[in-house]
Structures are given as structure tokens and as C-alpha cells.
Amino acid sequence: MIASARLRALGTSAVLCVTDPAVLPLARRELVRVLRQVDLMASRFRADSELTALNRRAGDTVRVSRPLFDAVALAIEVARHTGGLVDPTVGRALRLAGYDRTYVAVRARDGNFIAVSHRSPGWGSVELDAERSEIRVPAGVELDLGATAKAAAADAAAATVHEIGGAGVLVSLGGDVAVAGPAPAGGWPIRIADDHDAPLASSGPVVAVAGGGLASSGVAARSWRVRGGDRHHIIDPRTGSSAITPWRTVTATGATCVDANAASTAAVVLGADAPAWLALRGLSARLVRHDGSAVFVGEWPETEAQAA
């Protein structure tokens, strides 16, 4: 029997499922602990977060906590692995595009914000000293860990809950899904949607996941009006502006949730070349165009189950 809990965290919805109902209270406490740690460490919108303090000291070499160092190092590794398509140095570009506060506050604006593009020097400009746990962000550069920290939190929470309670676990954080331990018969059923806040009872294609991670990235759920047009939260590091893409939503699988998120985000940025890029890396994915038609890559089932 599957037991579940749902809560709000990191500006998004968090869903926790376990195969043993007796484990749920412990699992929920552990998830809350992980999410609080990530928020205090990596939020761009908290004046007291460690990431905010690091960005404020851009140009200096800063000794940081080991969790933040590891989070930045992971983001740099993802940037390297994706050829710079997913880059943590787009924080200033996000801010200048209008994403300078929580998404709820951004959406509440009147649309008169003047967005400006900004290209950073890229992930290779960030200096890491693992031995001393020190980071130097170049002057004028702001880090954003949104593409990796949330997915890493899902991976960490799922793994820890399984280790502590022994049950099969699914953790979903705003479309980033990680599973650990024994899955239910037939796998964990996951509904795919453009908006991660869609009601659980809403309709949509369903896939089954037995291990690893699944992530969706898209331009529909987090977009806002600015003077002269619209912007969304996926920045193309090559232009310093919201990615111009044929894809409304990309969902990809990976060995971990971090891997899946890196693939789905890179695919949105890459645009028309994304299917070939994903196939070359042996990944499975579903790419949905703005008109609702879909392209399937790898082992993704072209005949999708529907949940009503």
C-alpha cells in the first residue's frame, strides 16, 4: 500500500510517496529537513541564504560550507557535461529578465518591467578550491543553482528515506522526480504535465518509473509578462536571455534526478537539435511542441497510457 504526503517548499509543490505507510511520518520529517537545508543554502530570494552571501561577494575568494561547495561543484559539473547548455552563472541574466524575486511576486507585476539580456563569462570562470572549500565567483557574476539544487535535493531525500526506513520512496519536487528502494509492482506511475502544480486528479500521459530519476523542464509553467513580450525561467547561456525553443515541455529520464533535469533543461535550450543530442547520449525523452504534438527519443513509449 502506498502512502503519500504533499507540501509546499522551494516555491513549488513537493510530493512524497512510500511503499510502507508506517514510514511516512519519518519520511516527511526527513524531506522537510532536506528542503529547509537547501532553502537556507541555495535560495536566490532569501537575504540570509549562503548563496546570496556568496553572490554578494563576487570578485572575492569565499570560504563556504561544504554543502554549498558541493552544490556549486555539482552545478559546474553539469555545465561541463552539457557543454554549457545548463550553466549556473546565469543568475544575473535571470534577475535582469525579471525573475528577481519569488515567482508568485514576479507574476503579480503589471507587465511594465523592462527585461535586459545579459551574457555571463560562463561556468569556466568560477574557481573552486575543494581542499579549502573556497569559491571565487568573478565580479559581476551571480550564481543560480535552480537547475541542479532542487533535483539534487530530490535524490538526497529519496536515498536517505530509503536508507532509514527501508521502504520504496518517490520524491517529486516541482517536476523533478527521484526514486529509491523497491518500487511498487509495475513501477511508480508518474503523470506528465506542463505545470507541476496541476491537481493530482488531472488528466495526462502516465509513465512508470522503477529507478533513477525523471525530470520535466518547460516554458509554460514559469513565464511572465514584461514590457514588449514574455520571458520564462530557462535562460540560454549563449544569448543571456530566455531560451527561444520549439519545445513547450521536455521530460527526460536519467540515472539520477540531477541527470534527468540536466537533460531536460539542456534540451529546451538546444531547441530543434535536442532529439539528436539526447539520442546520442542514449537518453529517453518526450519533447512536446507548442502545438501539443510530441517527439519521442530512445525507449520512451510512443503509445502513452492516459490517466483520467
What's the residue count for the chain? 308
pLDDT band for 244, please (50, 70, 90 cuts): very high
pLDDT in tens, 144-173: 998 899 999 999 999 999 999 899 999 999
pLDDT of residue 233: 92
pLDDT band for 193, please (50, 70, 90 cuts): confident
pLDDT of residue 261: 97
| CA 293 – CA 210 distance, rounded (Å) | 26
Q: What is the DSSP letter of 22?
A: G
* pLDDT value at 133 more than 80: yes
Residue 274, helix vs strand vs coil: helix
The mean per-residue pLDDT over the stretch 39-54 comes to 95
Stated as kind and residue range, the H or E segment containing 186 is: none
Residue 5, helix vs strand vs coil: strand
pLDDT band for 106, please (50, 70, 90 cuts): confident
pLDDT of residue 108: 85
pLDDT band for 46, please (50, 70, 90 cuts): very high
pLDDT in tens, 66-96: 999 999 999 999 999 999 999 999 999 999 9
Name which residue leads in pLDDT, 111 or 132.
132
CB 292 within 8 A of CB 246: no
Poorest-pLDDT segment among 37-51, 106-120, 242-256: 106-120
pLDDT above 70 as % of the chain = 94
The C-alpha cell at 232 is: 520564462
pLDDT of residue 200: 47
**Nearest residue to 152 via CA among 49, 67, 220:** 67
Poorest-pLDDT segment among 11-15, 91-95, 158-162, 188-192: 11-15
* pLDDT value at 128 more than 90: yes
* pLDDT value at 5 more than 70: yes
| CA 301 – CA 129 distance, rounded (Å) | 44
Count CB-CB contacts under 10 A for residue 110.
7
Count CB-CB contacts under 10 A for residue 244.
10
pLDDT of residue 306: 41
pLDDT of residue 1: 81
The C-alpha cell at 271 is: 531547441
Stated as kind and residue range, the H or E segment containing 55 is: helix 50-56
DSSP for 66-95, please give it: HHHHHHHHHHHHHHHHTTTSS-GGGHHHHH
pLDDT of residue 203: 61
* pLDDT value at 58 more than 70: yes
**Nearest residue to 215 via CA among 166, 262, 273, 271:** 262
* pLDDT value at 308 more than 70: no
| CA 300 – CA 126 distance, rounded (Å) | 36
| CA 235 – CA 90 distance, rounded (Å) | 7
**Nearest residue to 190 via CA among 26, 8, 25, 2:** 2
